[in-house]
Copies of this chain bind each other. A is one copy, B any other.
């Protein structure tokens, strides 16, 4: 499935890590710069002769570039395997699909665990606070370096959807279409509150060492696991948790102690324990911070429609899930209202499902059909079909 056609000399076929030279730093919204910048990415499929079939997929908070191939640490299938593949909405036989690890991440792109050239040690808390805008700016640098003038689509769920909206605001001339799934144009007070709990859990772990844990050869695994557990609850609907676990016990009878008596406890503990094997605690701090700072309207004088006024030639597809309480449908409706206000063409659908926020990467036939339909229509409009 992976492309064997080199795009540009020096790019690893199927992805790799792109290291920008020292004279190409990443300017950040904070005013700082990040240098050197390295972007880890994966590609699937082949860029066509007119360079018109490239799709950038943006990942969510704890995602990475391993979109549709085995994860190098966990060995599990790619996180969007159900949506990327022959006959699927994103099809490497027709599309050239790119996924980059975000700036601040921990899977190869420059982040807080990278070496700070000023000290020769891992950045830790010396890493600059980054934004969704910074993530997108870095992606745009890579897309340009790959020799792709315009993207057929930018597609993302959750934080990936926020990046897709930010692309529309910042680089509308480089986009043909945008798909934003289960996202919001700004983080709500409740969203920020849950992230703050996670950050406090990490920073409460003495192994966090003020962010310098790599130097000491330790990791704040317990704190990171608690952060993941709290967040994980928000990814599932109450109904899905009840359907999957209810009050089912792990064993016959109660333990009358603090072992995991209920299956939902065991499930959450597993989510926490497996997360720490593949994720860096400081990356979790930085990426949650980027999400909390995200407010697309605030970037445009408080008027969300203003973010999209230059994107009138871009076709938008906005999708939400009826049981998503992290980024509920009302948030997607606000986005659509702003797109309409800006004169953009936007399709909107609320997918009826009880799976909650995580529905965007679960088996969800309505999502698959809706996405396939939108991509097919855009392919025709783009002359790809």
- Interface contact A204-B205, CB-CB below 8 Å: yes
Q: CA A359 – CA B84 in complex, angstroms?
A: 46
Pick the interface stretch among A14-22, A35-43, A262-270. A262-270
Q: CA A238 – CA B187 in complex, angstroms?
A: 12
Chain A, 237-273, contact with B by CB distance < 8 Å: what is the 0/1 string?
Answer: 0100110111100000010111011101100110010
Nearest-neighbour CB distance to chain B for A332, whole angstroms, equals 15
Which residues of chain B are within 8 angstroms of A186 by Cβ–Cβ distance? 247
Q: CA A127 – CA B261 in complex, angstroms?
A: 18
Which residues of chain B are within 8 angstroms of A205 by Cβ–Cβ distance? 204
- Interface contact B204-A206, CB-CB below 8 Å: no
Among A197, A261, A265, chain B packs the most CB atoms within 10 A around the CB of A197
Query: Taking the complex as formed, is A289 at the interface, i.e. its CB lies under 8 A from any CB of chain B?
Result: yes
Asked whether A129 and B256 contact (CB < 8 A) given A192-B247, A204-B222, the answer is: yes
- Give chain A interface residues in 173-206, CB to chain B under 8 Å: 186-190, 192-194, 196-197, 199-201, 203-206
Query: Taking the complex as formed, is A30 at the interface, i.e. its CB lies under 8 A from any CB of chain B?
Result: yes
Residue of B nearest to A264 (CB): B189
- Give chain A interface residues in 152-188, CB to chain B under 8 Å: 186-188
Interface residues on A, range: 35 or more
Nearest-neighbour CB distance to chain B for A273, whole angstroms, equals 10
Q: CA A343 – CA B67 in complex, angstroms?
A: 57
Query: Taking the complex as formed, is A285 at the interface, i.e. its CB lies under 8 A from any CB of chain B?
Result: yes
- Interface contact B128-A238, CB-CB below 8 Å: no
Residue of B nearest to A244 (CB): B189
Query: Taking the complex as formed, is A89 at the interface, i.e. its CB lies under 8 A from any CB of chain B?
Result: no
| Interface SS of chain A | helix
- Interface contact A229-B264, CB-CB below 8 Å: no
Query: Taking the complex as formed, is A226 at the interface, i.e. its CB lies under 8 A from any CB of chain B?
Result: yes
Query: Taking the complex as formed, is A292 at the interface, i.e. its CB lies under 8 A from any CB of chain B?
Result: yes
- Interface contact B196-A265, CB-CB below 8 Å: yes
Query: Taking the complex as formed, is A233 at the interface, i.e. its CB lies under 8 A from any CB of chain B?
Result: yes
Q: CA A247 – CA B291 in complex, angstroms?
A: 12
Residue of B nearest to A294 (CB): B247
Which residues of chain B are within 8 angstroms of A196 by Cβ–Cβ distance? 229, 260, 262, 264-265, 268-269
Q: CA A292 – CA B248 in complex, angstroms?
A: 12
Nearest-neighbour CB distance to chain B for A385, whole angstroms, equals 42
Which residues of chain B are within 8 angstroms of A335 by Cβ–Cβ distance? none
- Interface contact A129-B257, CB-CB below 8 Å: yes
- Interface contact A189-B245, CB-CB below 8 Å: yes
Query: Taking the complex as formed, is A293 at the interface, i.e. its CB lies under 8 A from any CB of chain B?
Result: yes
Q: CA A225 – CA B197 in complex, angstroms?
A: 9
- Interface contact B269-A200, CB-CB below 8 Å: yes
Which residues of chain B are within 8 angstroms of A197 by Cβ–Cβ distance? 226, 229-230, 233, 268
Query: Taking the complex as formed, is A92 at the interface, i.e. its CB lies under 8 A from any CB of chain B?
Result: no
Asked whether A264 and B204 contact (CB < 8 A) given A128-B256, A197-B226, A247-B295, the answer is: no
Among A257, A258, A295, chain B packs the most CB atoms within 10 A around the CB of A258
Q: CA A125 – CA B244 in complex, angstroms?
A: 31
Which residues of chain B are within 8 angstroms of A328 by Cβ–Cβ distance? 238
Query: Taking the complex as formed, is A223 at the interface, i.e. its CB lies under 8 A from any CB of chain B?
Result: yes
Nearest-neighbour CB distance to chain B for A133, whole angstroms, equals 13
Nearest-neighbour CB distance to chain B for A12, whole angstroms, equals 34
Q: CA A341 – CA B268 in complex, angstroms?
A: 36
Q: Which of B199, B245, B264 contacts A258 (CB 8 A)?
A: B199
Q: What are 14 A-B contacts defined by CB distance under 8 Å?
A: A129-B257, A186-B247, A187-B247, A189-B262, A190-B238, A190-B242, A193-B233, A193-B241, A197-B226, A197-B230, A200-B269, A204-B204, A247-B295, A261-B292
